Structure 1
Amino acid sequence: MTMRNAFLLLCCFLIGLQSCGQSAQQQLHCELYEAYVDDRVADWQGIIGRMEALDDSTAEWQRELFLARYGYIGYLLGNKRKDEARDELNRTIHALRAVQARFPNNAAFYCLDACFHSYQISLSMVQAPILYPAHQAAMRKAERLSETEPLLAFEQANMYFYKPRFLGGNKRKAIEKYQLSLSQLSSEKCRSCCWFELMVQLFLLKAYYETGQKDDFNQLKAELVQLHGSLNWVDGFLNSKVLDD
């Protein structure tokens, strides 16, 4: 075999490996979406384990991995499995620190940091005076790095939505931020099976529901059902709370 042919064979092999890796990532991404749509988020733990097993250290894949962890921890909290949520949250935050060190200029990881701080606050309101400043510091860092990061607007929306009014909560402002996050997501090259986009849409739907915006609620719900199927479980989500009264 000539040197030229050996070089071409190596190139083809490397391209094949890259294509195989991308195919595996897309499959896992779609499994997350399908489980979400079918109300099988309990299955995410196993899918996340397979995502980790790919051993892809790129910023893009790590963002997808931590987003999935965020969604899974939200599922645990929503189902009152607080001890499991706390354990998963501690592991996730520890892992996130290493990724932030590798990608110090990536706004998404600071947004995720803030999102996980919000979960910590929901688990222990007495620690809010300690955790909230760390949450805000992560948000400010993310905003300095990229004002157009969809996760930034999403977490800003969550803060407006879940804060009490006397602490600055405002569900109509939350709607504006959810809409902004969706607009920013639409400008990205979002994969097919984009479960996170659906999640933001569902939070927007919940905000319409709780502010009595019936026309916007009915229109968005009809669009989601047309795109994703019956979503029979959504009514339960609309009446759910992350924070206990």
Structure 2
Amino acid sequence: MKFNALLFAILIIPVLAATAQKKDLAYYQCAFFESYRAGNMTPWPALIEEMEKEKSTDIVWQTEILKAMYGLVGYEFGLHDKEMARTYVDKADVYLDNLLEKYPRNAQLHSLAGAFYGYKIALAFYKAPFLGPKSMYHMDKALELDPTEPMGYIEKGNSLQYRPAVFGGDKLEALKFYRKALALIEAKPVSKCDWQQMLLRAFILKNLYETNQTAEAEAFLAAMQKDYGSMVWIKKFVGTEFMSGK
């Protein structure tokens, strides 16, 4: 009897341990990654909700929630669903207010704050004169606090990429920031589930096509497909008018 009990313990404990660990931060990072790679963002709201239910006060955990909200809002804008986007912008506001009060020198948080101010402008363009400087402040602050943090460069690139030229938008300048961010990411240990690196590479690809650097764009696309698979969603992301026949 004692032997059977011991054998049972030996067999069941690793199973229980694996079950307990399966929804750690790495689990969610890979869930977001695989969903994004497949071009299916449907699971994201439920994944974010699960993470929120943990009520973790860990800054890394909460920052990961913010990053997921950032990715989801961008997707909702792509679907022209501003109300759903607004829901997550409002949620992110609460996290950012609390976290920046506790960690005012965290570069990632400032990068995200800059990005969400950009989203607020997209929700209400008439607020651009008031929110634009706030967005730029946080982006610049992120780079000042940590010049090795890629997110600051990504958001500076996005600001230049998506801002109208009349208001200072410059796609070629944006590409410089994107390349800097990618170089910083690639200089760090490789993460198998980095959906943000995939998104950054998609930004670069879109920029290359839009600036008529077609040969480099096609080589860049081939490298992405080697790493991520067919990426059936990429044509819609970049724009069929730029990738016609690709």
TM-score class normalised by the smaller sequence: 0.7 to 0.9
Q: Percent identity?
A: 28
Displacement of 1:230 in angstroms is: 0.5
1:21 deviation in Å? Answer: 5.0
TM-aligned CA deviation for residue 23 of structure 1: 6.1
Q: Which region of structure 1 is more displaced relative to structure 2, 126-135 or 21-30?
A: 21-30
Instruction: Write out per-residue CA displacement over residues 107-128 of structure 1, whole angstroms, 9 at most, x where no aligned residue.
Output: 1101100000001111111010
User: 1:151, CA displacement in angstroms?
Assistant: 0.7
The CA RMSD over aligned residues, in Å, is 2.2
State how far apart, in whole Å, the 1-side matches of 2:25 and 2:148 are.
Answer: 25
Matched, 1:92 2:79: no
Q: Which residue of 2 aligns with 1:154?
A: 154
User: How many Å separate the matches in 2 of 1:189 and 1:105?
Assistant: 24
Q: CA deviation at 1:25?
A: 1.6
* Distance in 2 separating the partners of 1:200 and 1:105: 24
Q: Deviations over 1:105-158 (max 9, x none)?
A: 111101100000001111111010111121122123222211221111001101
Match of 1:196 in 2: 196
Letter of the 2:196 counterpart: F
Q: Any stretches of 5+ residues in structure 1 without a counterpart?
A: 1-15, 241-245
Residue aligning to 1:213: 213
In 1: Cα distance, 2:68 partner to 2:132 partner: 23
Rounded Cα–Cα distance in structure 1 between residues aligned with 2:179 and 2:104:
27
- Consecutive unaligned residues in structure 2, runs of 5 or more: 1-15, 241-246
> In structure 1, the residue corresponding to 2:192 is in which secondary structure?
coil
Partner of 1:133: 133
Matched to 2:66, the amino acid is F
Number of residue equivalences:
226
In 1, distance between residues paired with 2:48 and 2:116? Answer: 17
Greater shift in the superposed pair: 31-40 or 132-141: 132-141
**8 A contact 2:140–2:152 mirrored in 1:** no
Instruction: State the match for 1:48 in structure 2.
Output: 48
C-alpha distance in 2 between matches for 1:96 and 1:190: 27
1:52-131 maps to which residues of 2 (within 5 A)? 52-131=52-131
The normalised TM-score by structure 1 is 0.86
